[in-house]
Structure 1
Amino acid sequence: MVVSVRDVALAASVSVGTVSNVLNHPDKVSPATVERVTAAIEKLGFVRNDAARQLRAGHSRSIGLVVLDVRNPFFTDIARGAEERAAEARMTVMLGNSDEKAERERAYIDLFEEQRIAGLLISPLADDLPRLRRLRDRGTTVVLVDREVADESFSSVSVDDVGGGYLAVQHLAAQGRRRIAFVGGPMGIRQVVDRLEGASRAANEAGVSLEVILTDSLSVLAGRAAGDALSARAPEDRPDAVFAANDLLAMGVLQALMMRSSIRVPDEIALIGYDDIDFAAAAVVPLSSIRQPAELIGYTAVDLMLREAGGKSDPERVVFQPELVVRESTARPA
């Protein structure tokens, strides 16, 4: 038998409204009454019907988060930061993985809207955001995560990826590397485009060459394929440094060069990644990387969503600066 609020009220000898206040606004009820109602809830095994409450309120206490690749520890850390801020507000985060696929992104947006989420945090695949604009126009606050767009009606939390790409290639050039390859893709992902833009700018300023090696994803397997292709070249045709668009790609390149071939990192090819995930420092050759404050990005995104949804601010943009982390994979050649 399903226990109702009315059953709890009868058992505690209070009104239904008092039970509702205990559940939602306990500060409005005397401690003795809260204790009596709580005892009745535990005795009867009452479980609140949160779906019904959401329908009455018009939205839930859940926040939707859609990321590009849940396998990437960078996005896992973003989710951890988002959960921390949501918990402070007594809310929860529902995670969706678009897997870099537009149709899955659309499906999660539709699902979360059906769930009447309080707000949506998303790392969108493309710059064209009509579905997100419609969601926002219907009253759901949308915050772009690890992205910003020209449309100032969206709040966003991002990192200066152009600056990060610049830092990576500037560092490689300073280490004496003259033939640098950028490994990344697909180019439909804005972060990849921005990191390549910064890398190209640094290469032009330093007078070094920059080859672009496109990948179909930002995964370890894609990095391994790129590394295998480099290994198959004659030594004189290989770059002397690689800048990978994220650390997963860099880990794949490292595996291909050192474990599937005999190319030494950094002696023959220096290697730098992006994101500074935990695995970077623990690689067989500790990996230099461009650090992003992933947990802080997630925490700040929820904070902006709460502020905007509560009418405390207009859409805001927060842009963090990346940080160069130097490890053994980019040591200067002997």
Structure 2
Amino acid sequence: MASISVRDVAARARVSVGTVSNVLNRPERVSSETVERVQNAIAELGFVRNDAARQLRAGSSRAMGLVVLDISNPFFSDLARGAQQAADDNGSVILLGNSDQDARREGFYLDLFEEQRVRGVLISPVGDVGERLSRLKARGIAAVLVDHRIPGSGFSSVSVDDVAGGQLAVEHLLSMGRRRIAFVGGPSTLHQFIDRLEGARLAVAAVPDATLEVLETESLTILEGRAAGDGIVGRAPADRPDAIFAANDLVALGLVQSFVMGNGLAIPEEIAIVGYDDIDFAGSAVVPITSVRQPSELIGRTAVELVIGEIDGTIEKGRDVVFQPELVIRATTTGPVTAL
């Protein structure tokens, strides 16, 4: 069966091809009676518009590309939901790419989105993407960094102050009288790891008898957290940390599983834990996890709004939006509090 064309719709509706085009793209220019007649013809014929051809003529599409580090992490799925909601409000769609913390996969998606002539790209990068984003910018494709900043780069960004978040988490642990702090997460190349660790170090440096041990993991997953927990349990009690700042909530969940379900360590009496992101699972864990909250959906929504603002000229390029983190206290740290 031959595909139905715009000419077929025009003939059925008894209007010009240009009128059909206006109904599809600029319906405000057409009378409501004509719009209804064309829409009826579309429904009767089963016409499906060729958006690929339309975007070739226009030079861009209605789509925006979003590249996240790990879609299995609820933080990024919530972020994607916020981005899609904002895109829906503006007649756009989100094409989602999961780099899985792999620079080659990240490059593949950036190439794909460039080929698709997307309106803009939102990216939480694995590594240095400045050169790639500059190429997109030269092609007229707006780019916004998500959960990351490159100061002085000229690219807009939406992020949370992770240094402040790391400091907030560890100051809370120190306020409980804990002094042997461990930071668990990784890999060390991730900017989230670097910034949160910097905040932890600032907090520990302010307390003379406090120490900070860094236990790097290969990724920020529950399994890696569980493995790190098993390693801690295998130490002599005097050699264990008395508090842990986990680089994200998935790692914190793995630690809780190791300590409580597998090895019977008391939380927070023997080891207190603070996670990061405040995903839904943090509050529903077997021991609800104290966490540093990021406004994940708001980050995604704001990133899309920056892209659209750059495209229509209402927002200046190179704008950095930085949200402040919030500590949510739950059972993994609700022990006695002592003054520093």
TM exceeds 0.5? yes
Is the 1:127–1:149 Cα contact (8 Å) retained in structure 2?
no
Over the aligned positions, Cα root-mean-square deviation in angstroms equals 1.0
Q: Note if contact 2:242-2:270 (Cα within 8 Å) is conserved in structure 1.
A: yes
How do 1:107-122 and structure 2 match up within 5 A?
Answer: 107-122=108-123
Separation of aligned partners in 2, 1:219 and 1:133: 32
* Structure-1-length-normalised TM-score: 0.98
Match in the other structure for 1:20: 21
Q: Whole-Å Cα distance in 1 between the matches of residues 239 and 264 of structure 2?
A: 16
Q: Tell me how far apart the structure 2 counterparts of residues 170 and 273 of structure 1 sit (CA, whole Å).
A: 13
- Which residue is equivalent to 2:211? 209
Contact 1:176 1:332 in 2 (8 A): no
Please point out which of 310, 313, 318 is paired with 2:312. Answer: 310
CA deviation string 1:265-322 (max 9, x = no partner): 1110000100000000000111000000000000000000000011222221100000
TM-score, normalised with respect to structure 2: 0.97
Unaligned 5+ runs, structure 1: none
User: What are the within-5 Å matches in structure 2 for residues 56-95 of structure 1?
Assistant: 56-95=57-96
Q: Which moved more, 1:267-276 or 1:304-313?
A: 304-313
Amino acid at match of 2:313: G
2:97 is aligned with what amino acid? G
Once the two structures are superposed, the pairs formed by residues 67-216 of structure 1 within 5 Å of their partners are 67-127=68-128, 129-207=130-208, 208-216=210-218
1:323 equivalenced with 2:326 (yes/no): yes
Partner amino acid, structure 1, of 2:326: E
Question: Which 5+ residue runs of structure 2 have no aligned equivalent?
Answer: none
- 2:39 paired residue number: 38
**Does the Cα contact within 8 Å between 1:213 and 1:226 map onto a contact in 2?**
yes
- Could you give the per-residue CA deviations for residues 1-20 of structure 1, whole angstroms, max 9, x where no partner exists? 20000000001110000000
* TM superposition outliers: structure 1 runs of 4+ over 6 Å: none
Is the 1:159–1:319 contact (alpha carbons within 8 Å) kept by the matching residues of 2?
yes
Q: Is the 8 A contact 1:170 1:206 kept in 2?
A: no
Provide the residue aligned with 1:247 in structure 2: 249
Give the AA of the match of 1:321: Q
C-alpha distance in 2 between matches for 1:152 and 1:130: 10
1:114, 1:264 → 2: CA distance?
A: 54
Contact 2:130–2:153 (Cα < 8 Å) also in 1: no
Take 1:238 and 1:136, find their aligned partners in 2: how far apart are those partners?
Answer: 50
Q: Deviations over 1:89-127 (max 9, x none)?
A: 011001100000100000010011111111000001124
Q: Is the 8 A contact 1:65 1:120 kept in 2?
A: yes
Note if contact 2:222-2:253 (Cα within 8 Å) is conserved in structure 1: yes
3-state SS of 2:308 partner: helix
Q: What residue number does 2:299 align with? A: 297
- Give the counterpart letter for 1:104 in structure 2: R
Q: Is the 8 A contact 2:290 2:330 kept in 1?
A: yes
Structure 2: distance between partners of 1:9 and 1:226: 66
- Between the aligned partners of 2:17 and 2:207, the Cα distance in structure 1 is 73
Q: Look up the SS of the partner of 1:330 in the other structure.
A: coil
- In the alignment, residue 320 of structure 1 is paired with which amino acid? F
Q: Amino acid of the residue matched to residue 176 of structure 1?
A: G
Number of positions where the alignment pairs a residue of Structure 1 with one of Structure 2: 334
Identity %: 60
1:199-220 CA distance string (max 9 Å, x none): 0000111231110000110111
The aligned counterpart of 2:235 is 233
CA distance in 1, matches of 2:16, 2:228: 68
User: Could you tell me how far apart the structure 2 residues matched to 1:151 and 1:228 are?
Assistant: 42
In structure 1, C-alpha distance between the alignment counterparts of 2:333 and 2:201, rounded to whole Å: 19
1:136 Cα deviation after fit: 1.6
Q: Is the CA contact 1:266–1:333 (under 8 Å) kept in the aligned structure 2? A: no
**Counterpart Cα distance in 1 of 2:220 and 2:79:** 17
1:299 maps to a residue whose letter is R
Q: Which of 261, 264, 274 is 1:262 aligned to? A: 264
